């Protein structure tokens, strides 16, 4: 019943991509998904170049199946002291609550945009598929990846973004509906009013775009995946459904929240990174929401992270970014294989 032209050409048996989820998984989940016949993904946005190489080599050593490596393609905006001060002022009550000061702000780490060194590594390692969030890297880097033989896909959250990606020469487009957990891949605009749900975005893209369209956002079981295939999806990309996988690295507090009544209340917020993302509602998210004083992605994390980290040290998850989609309450624990069987029951 299901067949993905795009994924079967890559050598993948089932029309499902396990969404890359930075901070919630590593190569272990990607390998388990590959073993189960799906396309496993490695999120690289928060890894050093050495870690990326090690993880790709490890995946290769453990599966002969194709896999996806995922990067953020945001354009880094300069971070000014004014931006920091404005955000610090907003977060001052929380800094006081946890006994924090400006000295606790740390400017290292964070999410790195795709760069030349990474493009060189991918060309050397000849990976089969590279996916991007937040648009695409500059043309020179994109052409280098394509010349190495890799297929390239990226996320669109509107028809305008999908047309832009098509003109840039991607091989397939991920249609990320508003239901989706984690960061929205918006890159041509920052206006949440432009965003639509999977049920509306997907058929619009299928009609107007001359490329395979992969549905993402809210796909957590057989009924939701069947809907997207009926609407013309070539394959599905599911994230939240894999957060309770045995092979995922989802933090304990996040897992507990996913299995509680809290899972049915997710919100959009920009307070953790500066980019708009969906996660399980907490009092912290509810009071700040999508805040106008937040520094641009990914810089907000420098000031917000100390609060999150201190609270987590104290066993308090009320300040954690527990990314999850609107169908989080459909997620069930189990092996990656069992989760794929739930999403694509008649394909396995």
Residue 251 Cβ vs ligand FMN, minimum distance, rounded to whole Å: 10
> For binding to ligand FMN (CB under 6 A), which residues are involved?
19-22, 24, 43, 45, 70, 133, 176, 179-183, 216-219, 237-241, 323-325, 327
| Complete edge-to-edge strand list for the sheet that includes strand 129-133 | 16-18, 235-238, 213-216, 172-176, 151-156, 129-133, 67-72, 40-43
Q: How far apart are CA 198 and CA 204, in angstroms?
A: 10
Residue 85 Cβ vs ligand FMN, minimum distance, rounded to whole Å: 29
Residue 313 Cβ vs ligand FMN, minimum distance, rounded to whole Å: 21
Residue 153 Cβ vs ligand FMN, minimum distance, rounded to whole Å: 10
Residue 61 Cβ vs ligand FMN, minimum distance, rounded to whole Å: 23
**Separation in Å, CA 194 to CA 228, 260, 306, 337:** 21, 31, 32, 35
Q: Give the residue among 76, 73, 69, 3 at the shortest CA–CA distance from 30.
A: 69
In the bound state with ligand FMN, the residue whose beta carbon lies nearer, of 84 and 157, is 157
In the bound state with ligand FMN, the residue whose beta carbon lies nearer, of 158 and 327, is 327
Q: How far apart are CA 20 and CA 70, in angstroms?
A: 6
In the bound state with ligand FMN, the residue whose beta carbon lies nearer, of 181 and 212, is 181
In the bound state with ligand FMN, the residue whose beta carbon lies nearer, of 31 and 244, is 244
Consecutive H or E run containing 235: strand 235-238
For residue 81, count other CB atoms closer than 10 A to its CB.
8
In the bound state with ligand FMN, the residue whose beta carbon lies nearer, of 70 and 270, is 70
What the block records as the tokens of 250 is 């989802």
Residue 319 Cβ vs ligand FMN, minimum distance, rounded to whole Å: 16
Contact 17, 44 (CB under 8 A): no
Residue 219 Cβ vs ligand FMN, minimum distance, rounded to whole Å: 5
- What is the total residue count of the chain? 348
Q: Which residue is nearest to ligand FMN (CB)?
A: 239
In the bound state with ligand FMN, the residue whose beta carbon lies nearer, of 29 and 119, is 29
What the block records as the tokens of 210 is 């001359």
Contact 68, 17 (CB under 8 A): yes
Q: Give the residue among 195, 241, 189 at the shortest CA–CA distance from 220.
A: 241
In the bound state with ligand FMN, the residue whose beta carbon lies nearer, of 205 and 219, is 219
């Amino acid at each position: 019943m299901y067949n993905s032209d795009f994924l079967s050409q890559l050598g993948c048996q089932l029309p499902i991509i396990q969404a890359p989820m930075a901070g919630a998984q590593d190569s272990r989940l990607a390998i388990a998904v590959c073993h189960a016949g799906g396309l496993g993904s490695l999120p690289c946005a928060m890894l050093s170049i050495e870690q990326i190489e090690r993880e790709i080599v490890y995946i290769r050593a453990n599966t002969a199946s194709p896999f996806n490596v995922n990067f953020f393609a945001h354009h880094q905006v300069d971070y000014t002291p004014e931006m920091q001060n404005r955000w610090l002022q907003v977060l001052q009550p929380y800094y006081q609550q946890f006994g924090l000061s400006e000295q606790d702000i740390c400017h290292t780490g964070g999410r790195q945009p795709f760069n030349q060194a990474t493009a060189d590594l991918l060309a050397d390692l000849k990976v089969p598929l590279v996916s991007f969030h937040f648009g695409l890297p500059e043309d020179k880097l994109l052409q280098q990846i394509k010349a190495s033989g890799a297929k390239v896909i990226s996320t669109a959250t509107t028809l305008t973004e999908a047309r832009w990606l098509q003109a840039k020469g991607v091989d397939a487009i991920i249609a990320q509906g508003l239901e989706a957990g984690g960061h929205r891949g918006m890159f041509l605009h920052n206006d949440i009013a432009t965003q639509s749900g999977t049920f509306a975005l997907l058929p619009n893209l299928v009609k107007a775009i001359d490329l395979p369209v992969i549905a993402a956002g809210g796909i957590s079981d057989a009924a939701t995946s069947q809907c997207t295939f009926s609407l013309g999806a070539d394959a599905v990309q599911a994230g939240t459904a894999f957060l309770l996988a045995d092979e995922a690295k989802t933090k304990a507090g996040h897992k507990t929240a996913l299995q509680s009544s809290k899972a049915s209340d997710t919100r959009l917020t920009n307070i953790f990174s500066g980019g708009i993302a969906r996660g399980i509602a907490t009092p912290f998210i509810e009071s700040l929401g999508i805040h106008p004083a937040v520094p641009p992605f990914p810089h907000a994390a420098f000031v917000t992270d100390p609060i999150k980290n201190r609270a987590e040290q104290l066993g308090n998850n009320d300040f954690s970014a527990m990314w999850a989609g609107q169908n989080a309450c459909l997620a069930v624990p189990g092996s990656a294989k069992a989760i794929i069987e739930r999403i694509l029951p008649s394909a396995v």
